[in-house]
Structure 1
């Protein structure tokens, strides 16, 4: 029963990530697309954490932490590029 709850939550997060993908493609401005990309990265980290809890996988938690750190660095680089500082 518990794994079904985690998988249901993971399916909802996956649908939200697909909606953010739509904003990434259709975003009217570059900053809107950058925010959509950051939102998708956040959803992916949440999805990894939900699946790690559902399948009791410690390795996936480590992967999610590294992905979140790299996502943060990437978002900061994109923001600096948009401002024209890079």
Structure 2
């Protein structure tokens, strides 16, 4: 599990990223926002992952904020997947 941080409305919030190799999913949780999601990374490209995250975040954030957060999360996921290619 990786723990990352980003700034949300002048506060630093923790983002938890857990990659389950067995079922090929990444769980993303942001407890301060009471939000989490599981993403099937094996069948989705990074742009599809980002689009899914925007849709999930857009349920309680405005479009610009959802897009900003999803972009950052997607960047971290892409970096993690790239680093772990065997």
- How does the TM-score come out when normalised to structure 2? 0.38
Greater strand fraction, Structure 1 or Structure 2: 2
Bigger radius of gyration, 1 or 2?
Answer: 1
Greater helix fraction, Structure 1 or Structure 2: 1
